[in-house]
Structure 1
Amino acid sequence: MKKIRIFSCPWHLGHQYELLKLNPYTDGQIEFYYCLNMIRKWSNSARPMPPHLNWVTHYEPGKYDLAILHIDQQCVDPTIGKSWLYNDLNRVIKDIPKIVVCHGTPLWPEQFDKNIIINGGSVFFRGELVKIKGMKELVGDNFFVVNSYTAVKEWGWGYPIIHGLDPNEWYDLPKEPMVTTMISPAGLDRYYNRDLLRAVKELLIQDYGITLYQITVDFLPNDWEEYKRFLGRCLIYFNPTYDSPMPRSRTEAMLSGCCVVTTKYHEADQFIKSGKNGFIVPDNPRVIADLINMLITQHYKEAVKIGEEGKKTAQKYFHIDRYLETWYHLIKMVLNGKKPTIRRPPWEEK
């Protein structure tokens, strides 16, 4: 079988760690070559580097079949440098098809409105008129992949692929009365719903003496193994996000048997049913803090059982096999110049 050689570079290691499993999934047919660079590097503390990953110093035309590049809404801002790696590679790679994976949505109200992020335009910056290339211009004719079905609607186009993980890599350990969350420590405040998170943390500690551990802020694991073991011990995982498309950390918590308390956005309410396999909560810090306290102090055993049901849900809808099969199909379609049909969400499949 002809090898498929894919060129890429480090970006979102949690996402790429799973995608790199296409190599063993295809019995070595798909090979990955990552470009060494000064902007993005692999961190073994975040994910162990797969032994089959190849490294190259630059892109050479004629050596690869496909490129997979990565981007998010902050890449439209030319002043922060986040788009440099994407722009450089997109400009250099001209001889093969390119898939662009977008890890965000057009929500960044602290900087630009949605129309600017999608379509581009001009804004004043430090007294000068600066041209903003919107996502449509940045992506161009490349094939555009997003991480949720809601993200397709928000961008106006895109091919949704829901992430998948290997259930065997996550630890469902004996639960302790701990509450945790894991979102980026800074930036994109509305996107991550940081005001809600801060309010819930304050109410929990002030009213109930309960600490909500924000991983990377209140607890800094030394490596991925320590992160998984900490997560596996937590009774409750709180996901506050507003516009993050299908947060991976929430699925990790579900696979770890945590009782997930989450906002409803980006299809969460399609597969989480309150009181059965988790809890869907409104953007109301008092309601959330009271629920978390009640679960810990009055309904501990029930919370453990709900976490177990959530784990079954994640194993069913977010399995690595479904994810890799979807990606393999997409790659073959793109290489053959075909446009794949958007598949139904996993929770709607029979």
Structure 2
Amino acid sequence: MPSHDAIESDVMILHVDQWTYHEPAKRFLFLRMRDAYRGPKIVINHGCNMVDGCSSAQMRELIGDCHMVANSKTAHELWAVPSSTYIHHGMSAEEWPATDYANHNVLHVQPFSQQHGKCRNVAAIPRAEERVPVTWVGRDVKFASFTKYRQFLRSSSIFFHPSYASANPRARTEAMLTGLAIVTTDSHGESEYIRNGVNGFCSNDMDELLDHLEYLYRHPREVRRIGRAGRATAQELFGINGYIDRWNALLARVVGL
């Protein structure tokens, strides 16, 4: 249960994804916290129901009278929760030093599991591996700390994101801020800031996306050019200051400051 200090606070921030409704332990904990706290509540929804998970009606039942924040415009529109908005994440660029491209590798980053495989589009990885070597972080390599993972990025080159249903994953932004050349699906507004062949590649045609991936792997100099341009884009779009401003505005509105 929330502590006395939590009850006396200005706002509670909770988290859900598209699977919370159908996972009993998660749902129970979420509802317990939601219903025990009487003040304003904001729920950050990290998921999207494009492939699996709960329906928009079930999500509205979970959210109740809380205000919901989605991670992308697409997810926000698909969930269709009345009191909601979307805020893409922001990060401090200084925490993500540029890669030196010492390892000409292709990275895929997500848990190594078939669970929620449709959402993560696990089936795309064997197809990619038929054309280029892929290092799957979570399967092939693991790290004892986040700092060590960040150091690993600083010598890497290409980041492959095949999921159609993951709403602006942080791992992709971290890689883009580090200067890795991004090859990603285009289901959550990626084409609004990624121009193919300029600062990355995006497409919802998997054959086309794999062509882009192989092109980069065969042309290391292009990886550096595109990766550096993508890094500049990420620093501008996903900077921490704009993120803080958007959250401050939301908090002022929800809490009534």
TM-score in same-fold range (> 0.5): yes
1:1-350 aligned at under 5 Å gives the runs: 58-60=2-4, 62-79=7-24, 81-94=25-38, 96-109=39-52, 117-119=55-57, 134-157=58-81, 158-175=84-101, 176-186=103-113, 187-201=115-129, 203-204=130-131, 210-285=132-207, 287-297=208-218, 299-336=219-256
Task: Please tell me whether the aligned partners of residues 190 and 242 of structure 1 are also in contact (alpha carbons under 8 angstroms).
Answer: no
Range with greater deviation from structure 2 (276-285 or 255-264): 276-285
Give the superposition deviation at 1:189: 1.9
d(CA) in 1 for partners of 2:225, 2:245 = 31
- Say if 2:2 and 2:37, in contact at 8 Å, map to a contact too: no
Deviation at 1:232, TM superposition (A): 2.0
Partner SS for 1:254: helix
Which residue identity lines up with residue 229 of structure 1 in the other structure? Answer: Q
Distance 1:252 1:281, change over 3 A: same
SS at match of 1:82: helix
> Aligned to 1:73, what secondary structure does the other structure show?
coil
Residues 90 and 242, structure 2, Cα contact 8 Å, conserved in 1 = yes
Q: Determine the structure 2 residue equivalent to 1:346.
A: none
Q: CA deviation at 1:118?
A: 2.0
8 Å CA contact retained: 1:105, 1:245: yes
Amino acid at match of 1:162: H
Taking CA–CA contacts closer than 8 Å with sequence separation of 6 or more, which of the two structures ends up with the larger relative contact order? 2
**Higher helix proportion:** 2
Give the 3 Å change call, closer, same or farther, for CA 283–325 of structure 1 in structure 2.
same
1:293 shift after superposition: 3.1
Number of residue-to-residue matches in the alignment:
252
- State, as a whole percentage, how many aligned pairs show the same letter: 30
Which SS does the other structure have where 2:154 is aligned?
helix
Matching residue's letter, 2:138: T
Give the whole-Å Cα distance in 1 for the aligned partners of 2:23 and 2:94.
41
* Residue 291 (structure 1) shift: 3.2
Name the SS of the counterpart of 2:229 in structure 1. helix
Q: CA deviation at 1:251?
A: 0.8
Q: Deviations over 1:46-101 (max 9, x none)?
A: xxxxxxxxxxx84226521110011111111154x22222111112112x100011
How far does residue 108 in structure 1 lie from its aligned partner after superposition? 4.7
User: CA contact under 8 A between 1:59 and 1:93: conserved in structure 2?
Assistant: no
TM-score of the aligned structures, taking structure 1 as reference length: 0.68
The structure carrying a bigger strand percent of its residues is 1
CA contact (8 A) 2:128 2:210 kept: yes
Unaligned runs of 5+ in 1: 1-56, 120-133, 205-209, 338-350
Q: Is the Cα–Cα contact under 8 Å of residues 7 and 37 in structure 2 kept in the other structure?
A: no
- Root-mean-square deviation over aligned CA pairs: 1.9
The verdict on how the C-alpha distance between 1:193 and 1:181 changes in structure 2, with shifts beyond 3 A counting, is: same
Secondary structure at the residue paired with 1:308?
helix
The residue identity in structure 1 corresponding to 2:98 is: D
Amino acid at match of 2:213: I
Distance (Å, rounded) in 1 between the aligned partners of 2:49 and 2:15: 15
C-alpha contact (below 8 Å) 1:180/1:231 kept by paired residues = no
Distance 1:91 1:303 in 2: 50
- Tell me the distance in 1 between the aligned counterparts of 2:7 and 2:26: 27
* Cα-to-partner distance string for 1:268-325 (whole Å, 9 max, x where unaligned): 111000000001134324x44443333233x211210110000000000000111011
Partner of 1:21: none
Q: CA deviation at 1:248?
A: 1.2
